[in-house]
Structure 1
């Protein structure tokens, strides 16, 4: 055998040669929880509850729509980012360079979601955020419920008849599915795109929020986060907010 053809590997034990230090990962300021939901499955209610449990800001329809309309507010969010978070944001923008979005509004939305994620410790409801953001710093879940339960909830919430509620649930599901397909080329019904799928009818709103909070805290504890950020389970209880 020609010695030039031999591939020498570093030994598993003892001296392993001079190691080249790995570049430190660029990370956002914290994790982001993205909640996808079927219409009427109470995903928004669950998001607010888990936001209260974690002490995280919730970005739902009203707040996201406001930020999309106010460029100054979006710029303010970005100027408040730390240096490392700005580096992460720049890396994500570079990752998406050349991506063709269906409209300028979609492009603005994508950039807003990146800024929110760079801030970290945020709950984002809908808008396909979980399909956009990298899984290394994102927990992506979907809230589902049986169709009759979703219809009953929406009928009560919006004071609709049974038929009106059925049509509204179906219309909302279609709009959300069309949005995901047009902007991100994804299907909401694909369970492999999520870290977890929770049935709010079986579990209840409170249990869903507790499970999501546990997922976040566990992920924080198991993730090798930036050295200057502590991400451990609180010693005095799972739901104690970190100081």
Structure 2
């Protein structure tokens, strides 16, 4: 991600030097990329790796947290707390007081957006979560939502964590409460229900959708 960030900063700096107007459109070419928003236990992570393997792209997940920590000199576990869910003012105050590090929601969201934009600028990326579908230019990538019925998600989480049904449901509910805007259908190009379609078939379908959406856009840009 460090190389991606350096390239993005160079492009943005040149754009700022030439325009001197912050309200101008974002500089440079974006994509191709795929953003994957997924319900916990839906299989979205597995699907992301299948897509990356088929395209020869990279999956970015935990690396995004590492990049934010590197930019802000904050500890990764501190960034991860904001990554999991937004902290309220008292949480932030107490955490900063006891850790000696100043890091809040505004900083997290700013640096998150910069990391996401750098990945989209360089392209060939499968980006997991973090609201990337809301941040990045929609015309340059495919925005995917991965879902599954609660019963199937529960079985998958039990297998993943090696826990009983009660613990799996608690973990699903805990994660779901921090993604209250995830079901906005207009924020995605396609929704995949992994209870109705196998992973390999879903990956093949998404590959065709990427080609259908992005290749015409590339042709228009080149014209």
Q: Normalising to structure 2: TM-score of the pair?
A: 0.69
Which of 129, 142, 145 aligns to 1:142? It is 145
Q: Which structure has the larger Rg over C-alpha atoms?
A: 1
Give the Cα–Cα distance (whole angstroms) in 1 for the partners of residues 171 and 206 of structure 2.
27
Q: Is the 8 A contact 1:34 1:141 kept in 2?
A: yes
1:69 aligns with 2:76: no
| Paired residue total | 166
Give the Cα–Cα distance (whole angstroms) in 2 for the partners of residues 225 and 67 of structure 1.
33
Give the Cα–Cα distance (whole angstroms) in 2 for the partners of residues 28 and 173 of structure 1.
34
Give the Cα–Cα distance (whole angstroms) in 2 for the partners of residues 102 and 225 of structure 1.
38
Give the Cα–Cα distance (whole angstroms) in 2 for the partners of residues 119 and 149 of structure 1.
36
C-alpha deviation, 1:227, in angstroms: 3.4
Q: Which has the higher helix share?
A: 2
Q: Is the 8 A contact 2:141 2:210 kept in 1?
A: no
Give the Cα–Cα distance (whole angstroms) in 1 for the partners of residues 31 and 115 of structure 2.
16
The answer for the alignment partner of 1:106 in structure 2 is 109
Unaligned runs of 5+ residues in structure 1 are 1-24, 73-100, 178-186, 229-243
The answer for the alignment partner of 2:206 in structure 1 is 212
Give the Cα–Cα distance (whole angstroms) in 1 for the partners of residues 220 and 31 of structure 2.
8
Please give the per-residue CA displacement for 1:186-214, whole angstroms capped at 9, x wherever unaligned.
x2111122100110111021111111111
The answer for the alignment partner of 1:45 in structure 2 is 46
Once the two structures are superposed, the pairs formed by residues 2-151 of structure 1 within 5 Å of their partners are 27-60=28-61, 62-71=62-71, 102-151=105-154
Q: CA RMSD in A?
A: 2.1
Give the Cα–Cα distance (whole angstroms) in 2 for the partners of residues 213 and 197 of structure 1.
14
Q: Is the 8 A contact 2:38 2:147 kept in 1?
A: yes
Q: Normalising to structure 1: TM-score of the pair?
A: 0.64
Give the Cα–Cα distance (whole angstroms) in 2 for the partners of residues 162 and 37 of structure 1.
20
The answer for the alignment partner of 2:96 in structure 1 is none
Please give the per-residue CA displacement for 1:82-138, whole angstroms capped at 9, x wherever unaligned.
xxxxxxxxxxxxxxxxxxx94211211111101111101211010000011111212
Secondary structure of 1:70's aligned partner: helix
The answer for the alignment partner of 1:163 in structure 2 is 166
C-alpha deviation, 1:220, in angstroms: 2.9
1:203 aligns with 2:204: no
The answer for the alignment partner of 1:227 in structure 2 is 222
Unaligned runs of 5+ residues in structure 2 are 1-25, 73-103
C-alpha deviation, 1:28, in angstroms: 2.0
